[in-house]
Structure 1
């Protein structure tokens, strides 16, 4: 078995490689060549933590495994480490033997950013100029960097519950040579593309705060009860997701479906757009929404890529297990 420690991930996985891996696995899911296992995600009653497992099997890539981990909201304040903690385990699909253990923290950040970036490539207007960010934490910086590579954006606007964190976004915008403006939520109507990346359990973005033609990527809702946007926004929008079953149970669509505002059949897989079996965006006035729930296959795809690179570069630690 190979071990690739967290400390080695930054030197192995690029945003471009993460994007490619995620785009390919979304396409495989839509074509029926890969599937995710049911998600287990529980509040453990200690440190206010949410812990769980996401796994799946990619028949095309012969990738089998799971990611174990979750969200420890007190980590940063108490211990100086990030709140999201995870590890990816890969298994040989031919024998069931453990194949690799991979640090999953940076990989999770990169694959989550890659997912919204894939949605921008396939669903946002080509002439999108203003990108809006809701959320300014650790993951938001990854989201913004990846998103800026997909369109010729000219401005970044941002909102966060705690405004003192907005300099995180301003720094990324400055790195890209773009102006940044802090706005109230009503100011999001200026955006052609909006990414929400929070841990909220209450709707933040209202349906009236999104202009026609906007693409919205909801990336924070991955647990039952979480919510970032008004369910009426999903009524106004054409809704796409990574995994429909997750979207309607633990993703942003859980609320609109639960209230009878939309049906499961109203939610399409982003992989179908990638494969060309769904038309995706059809007009400049259409609001599109990507419900990024985070699927196990994303983690497995990027982890498998990292293991191959680590072995090739002699970085992977081989153990008898």
Structure 2
């Protein structure tokens, strides 16, 4: 089997590689060539979460599982709160083929998912990017988004203003002006909004959003998490990575519980990629992508990392 250590990922997988892998995965899911297995998620106490996301891509001959979770005490120890590893198996024999460090891959695949939604659903003339959240993944989200539209400015809001320095520095490095604003001012300016928080209660409200906005909700992936007001999903045209996860552990769980949205009203983004759904229908339409994070994303990006690592000699081969 092959091992691709966490330390090697940064030199292997870039934003474009992650985008291509995730876009192809969403397309395969919509064609029913690939499917995810049920998510296993357990609370360990003190805010810790641990679980497994897995799936099979028949067309891509990929089978695997990501094991990991969220450990909020890690930051005090100098390590990131999200920890994970991706394991890849031969779909014909079940033999373990690779173990891949999953921490950076998780940030890259999550950012790739939102950027796929921006590429396919946002207005082409979008100029202002709004960021709700300034944690570890926010920089990856922002950088991936900048590849999809000619943004001229980034505005941001965070629960903890003292955490904004990392995001503002990354925006400055990208050569764009940055402004820390209220949620009301963020919604009034932004053409595209990415929410990337771990909040248990909505912060972004329906009243904050103007017509024509695209929102990528990327933080809600567990029962109880919530980033936006349910009324916003009732108003928007809603897309997702996987409908089953969207209504159970994604942002749509709250709108469904309140009877504002049904599963039938939510469209897999792969249908837009494949051309079987038109996506955005007008410049005034509000579109929302509920990015719950599926195992097939992790498997696809990890497989890409293994291919690149084997090609450049950084993969480690061991006998199991």
User: What is the 5 A alignment of 1:146-185?
Assistant: 146-185=144-183
Q: For structure 2, list consecutive stretches of 5 or more residues without a partner in the other structure.
A: none
Partner of residue 48, structure 1: 47
**TM-score, normalised via structure 2 length:** 0.99
* Rounded Cα–Cα distance in structure 2 between residues aligned with 1:171 and 1:272: 36
* Rounded Cα–Cα distance in structure 2 between residues aligned with 1:173 and 1:108: 21
* Rounded Cα–Cα distance in structure 2 between residues aligned with 1:121 and 1:175: 22
* Rounded Cα–Cα distance in structure 1 between residues aligned with 2:298 and 2:227: 23
Partner of residue 85, structure 2: 87
Partner of residue 9, structure 2: 9
* Rounded Cα–Cα distance in structure 1 between residues aligned with 2:166 and 2:311: 35
Partner of residue 222, structure 2: 223
Shift of the alpha carbon at 1:21?
Answer: 0.2
Shift of the alpha carbon at 1:43?
Answer: 0.4
Shift of the alpha carbon at 1:50?
Answer: 0.2
* Rounded Cα–Cα distance in structure 1 between residues aligned with 2:50 and 2:260: 30
Post-superposition CA distance 1:237-268 (Å, at most 9, x none): 00000000000000000000111111100110
Q: How many pairs align?
A: 319
- Residue 133 of structure 1: which of 112, 116, 131 is its match? 131
Shift of the alpha carbon at 1:113?
Answer: 0.2
Q: Post-superposition, which runs of at least 4 consecutive aligned residues in structure 1 deviate over 6 A?
A: none
Shift of the alpha carbon at 1:171?
Answer: 1.2
Partner of residue 256, structure 1: 255
Post-superposition CA distance 1:135-168 (Å, at most 9, x none): 0011000000000111010110000011011122
* Rounded Cα–Cα distance in structure 2 between residues aligned with 1:3 and 1:306: 10
* Rounded Cα–Cα distance in structure 1 between residues aligned with 2:11 and 2:236: 39
Post-superposition CA distance 1:203-257 (Å, at most 9, x none): 0100000110000000000000100000000011000000000000000000001
Q: Secondary structure at the match of 1:106?
A: helix
> Are residue 305 (structure 1) and residue 304 (structure 2) matched?
yes
Shift of the alpha carbon at 1:48?
Answer: 2.7
User: What is the 5 A alignment of 1:201-212?
Assistant: 201-212=200-211
Post-superposition CA distance 1:263-299 (Å, at most 9, x none): 1001100000000000100100000000000000000
Q: Secondary structure at the match of 2:227?
A: strand
* Rounded Cα–Cα distance in structure 1 between residues aligned with 2:312 and 2:261: 49
* Rounded Cα–Cα distance in structure 2 between residues aligned with 1:48 and 1:274: 36
Shift of the alpha carbon at 1:170?
Answer: 1.2
* Rounded Cα–Cα distance in structure 2 between residues aligned with 1:74 and 1:136: 18
Q: Secondary structure at the match of 1:152?
A: coil
Q: Secondary structure at the match of 1:320?
A: coil
Partner of residue 21, structure 1: 21
